[in-house]
Structure 1
Amino acid sequence: MSKGSGSAVRWLLIIPYIGLLWVPFYNSRDPVLFGFPFFYWYQLLWVPVTAILTYIVYRSTRDAD
C-alpha cells in the first residue's frame, strides 16, 4: 500500500469527532433503547464504532510504514 493511501485512511478517525461534536443533535430522551435514553445509547454506540475505525486505520497504516 502506498503512503498516500495510508494518509487517506487516517481521515476515518475524524468520523467519531463529527458524530459526537454537535451535542444538540443527540440531546434528547427519545427514542429509548432497552431503557436507555437516546443521549446515552448514542454515545455508547460510538465506543465500538470508534474502536473498529481505529483498528481499520491501524491495519491499513501499519503495512504502509
Structure 2
Amino acid sequence: MDERTRRSLVVRDGMHSAELEGGRVTDAYRRDAQDYIDGLIDEDGLIHRTRVRYGLETA
C-alpha cells in the first residue's frame, strides 16, 4: 500500500468514527484532510490546523 492510500484510509476511518459518535465533519476539515492525503502537510500540520481553527492551544 502506498503512502497516499494509507493516509486516505486513516482519514476515512477517522471521519467515519467521528460521525458514528455524533460528530460532524466540516468542509474545512475535509479540505485540510485532503491536503494531508495529497502529502502537502504531515500529521502534525493537520492537527495544528484543526487546533487553530477551534482556538485550542498549539504546541
TM-score normalised by the chain length of structure 1: 0.35
TM-score normalised by the chain length of structure 2: 0.37
Return the structure number with greater helix share. Answer: 1
Q: Computing the radius of gyration over CA atoms, which structure comes out larger, 1 or 2?
A: 1
